[in-house]
Amino acid sequence: MNQDFEKRFLTSMLIMVLFLGFYVYIFNQAAKKTPPKTSSATETNSLALESTQPAPVTIVSSPSPSTNISLATKTLFLDIASEGAGVTSLSIDGKWNQSSHPVRLLQPVSLGYGVIQWDKESFASFKPLQSTETSSEWTTKLLWNNTPLEIRVRYDVVGDYTFVQTITVSNQTKEAVKLDYQGKSFSLRWRPDLMDTNTSGTGNIQTYGVYANKKFSPVLKKGLFSPAQNSLFVSNFQWLSVADNYFAFIVETLSPGITASYEVESRHKTVEKTAISLYLPIIFLGGGESTNFRIQYTASPKKESFLRAVNPAYGRLFQWPALFAWFMKPIEWAMVWLLNTLGGWITNKGIVIILIALIVKLLLSPLSIQAAISVKKQQLLQPKLKNIQEKYKDNQQLLQQKTLELYKKEKINPLGGCFPLLLQIPVFFALYRVLSQSVELKGATFLWIRDLTQTDTLFTMNIPFLPHNFNLLPLIMTAIQLIQTKLQTAKNPAMQGQSLNMYLLPLIFLFLFWNMPSGLVLYWTIQNIYTIIEQEIINLDRHIKL
């Protein structure tokens, strides 16, 4: 293998590393939010008026003892409180965390009026009317500018991870009434609580999106030259989403006129609080009239098959950039199918990842074997190339001509070992997405690894200029890559001149993979072991000749 080829090979690998680094950087920006200018946030759910003007609302229903009602299915659990008829807890089945305990995805929420702020509360006390295992209805009475109103809030579980909230407002008099406070009537605040602080530094990213006019748009992102937004008002949408790598919370309006806003509070580049506020429009009611608003909520594992079953448009959460979608999406679907199929047979997810690495290696073996054979043939060609270089060292133009003639005569493509490796890059990126965003791996253990979606930190340390967490698996991965590099350079004299550059690549991967989910690091480690075995088998093959 000549030095020109070595430079091309190294360049292709560096391009792959740069793409990976760019991919990680861009997606991490969505989680890096600057703290809001107003810092008076509290832990409670807030429902209040933005203005200091008195509210046009007087609560009529007398306070009743606090009441809580639970709706429970095999997959979804809702706790509803009498204060504001709000959901105080929303959880899904614990199998998505390899646990018998449900996974909580929401902080408390209630119904209020006007515009919501972080630091105030104002809500009525509701009384339960009727409840079953999958539905619950609540009522309260209030005066809006001295006009008696009845408010009913109903929850209905309509799917494995989906429920519908219906808010009915009834005019109890014969006189018309206009419910208008600061351009809105009533408001709700939902506070998704998806992010696990243990995964915030492992590539787990919280993202936000708006779907309107058949187009999904990520929002609250940090631009290349602009800071991240802390809030956003949305006036025209079909549904909104908050999602991390493993879970998703989606709000879909089933009634017209509802607007919304996002609010995000973060500290130390980690999202700590997220709120979606929904605003019901101005309401006009004639005497004795009523109106209702319906909103659908989906709190689910972030699995494309689950979310598409609720609404095909929810699949936009998994979209690739348009330029790459046509070929990356089929590869991703194939990897998801492989993970789910093997996971249905084998309970140990670490073994599943090892088998995926083996199967992917076998499927790509025609490409990798072709690359390895090309590398070996170029090793065998080195004596002839050396003679040409010595003979025509004073005439670079003739040297290049004779070198190309030799390649053509021996039917060797100088890039034959490079192109097959480049063709594997889409598979790597698809696997990166699947393994780093697979909810099936959440809470799964393997050997000393406590959770395959987190780093395999054995202990923490406080040494200047070094990471605080000691992760063993990335060190093992780097050691194996260094062994692979040593074996390659030892058997190829042409590569020995490039040995310093070749040894740099494993160190770059160590930096990139240090805080990656251990499941992804495990895959790359096993893949490197398979590559060493494959290369050694080919090197032992004496039938490969010029």
- For residue 155, pLDDT over 60 is answered with yes
In DSSP terms, which residues pair with 107 in a beta bridge?
Answer: 191
pLDDT given at position 50: 38
- Listed range (75-89, 405-419, 449-463) with the worst mean pLDDT: 405-419
Orientation angle between helical segments 365-380 and 382-391, nearest 10 degrees: 50
Reference 48, options 135, 118, 107; nearest CA is 118
Task: State mean pLDDT over 109-134.
Answer: 63
Please report how many Cα atoms fall inside a 13 Å half-sphere around the Cα of residue 295, on the Cβ side: 26
- Listed range (323-337, 368-382, 510-524) with the worst mean pLDDT: 368-382
Q: Which residue has the tokens 């956003």?
A: 232
- For residue 462, pLDDT over 80 is answered with no
- For residue 38, pLDDT over 50 is answered with no
Decide which of 22 and 340 is more confident.
Answer: 340
Task: State mean pLDDT over 371-378.
Answer: 72
Strands of 231-355 (E only): list them. Answer: 231-234, 239-243, 247-253, 259-267, 270-279, 283-285, 290-301
pLDDT per residue over 70-109, tens digit each? 898 989 998 888 887 888 888 888 777 666 678 888 776 6
Query: How far apart (Å, rounded) are the C-alpha atoms in residues 406 and 386?
Result: 12
Report strand pairing: 186-192 vs 103-107.
antiparallel
Share of the chain above pLDDT 90, in %: 22
Please state, as a whole number, how many other Cβ atoms lie within 10 Å of the Cβ of residue 381.
Answer: 20
CA 118 distance to own-chain centroid? 26
pLDDT given at position 203: 67
Q: Are 106 and 90 in contact (CB under 8 A)?
A: yes
Domain ranges of the chain: 3-22+345-540, 60-319
pLDDT given at position 344: 86
- For residue 429, pLDDT over 90 is answered with no
Sorting pLDDT into bands at 50, 70 and 90, what band is 169?
very high
Q: Please count the helices (runs of H) and the strands (runs of E) in the chain.
A: 13, 23
Token digits of residue 447: 């050997």
Task: State mean pLDDT over 518-545.
Answer: 79
- For residue 46, pLDDT over 60 is answered with no
Orientation angle between helical segments 382-391 and 396-410, nearest 10 degrees: 160
Can you spell out the DSSP letters for 175-218? S-EEE-BTTBSEEEEEEE----GGGTTTT---EEEEEETTEEEE
pTM for the model: 0.78
pLDDT given at position 1: 39
pLDDT per residue over 194-248, tens digit each? 766 555 555 678 889 999 998 998 888 776 666 667 788 998 899 999 998 889 9
130-144 core/surface letters (b: 16 or more CB in 10 A; e: else): ebeeebbbbbbbbeb
Sorting pLDDT into bands at 50, 70 and 90, what band is 117?
very low
Decide which of 425 and 314 is more confident.
Answer: 314
Reference 143, options 107, 165, 169, 104; nearest CA is 169
pLDDT given at position 187: 85
Determine whether 304 is exposed, middle or buried from the number of CB atoms within 10 Å of its CB (0-12, 13-18, 19+). middle
Residue type, 299: A
Phi-psi region of 70 (alpha: psi -120 to 50; beta: other; left: phi over 0): beta
Reference 189, options 295, 290, 334, 322; nearest CA is 295
| DSSP structure class, residue 529 | H
Sign of the four-CA dihedral 101, 107, 112, 113 = negative
Question: Which distant-in-sequence residues (6+ apart) come within 8 Å of 502 by Cβ?
Answer: 10, 485, 488, 489, 495
Indicate the CATH number of 60-319 among 1.10.3720.10, 3.20.20.120, 3.40.50.1000, 2.70.98.90.
2.70.98.90
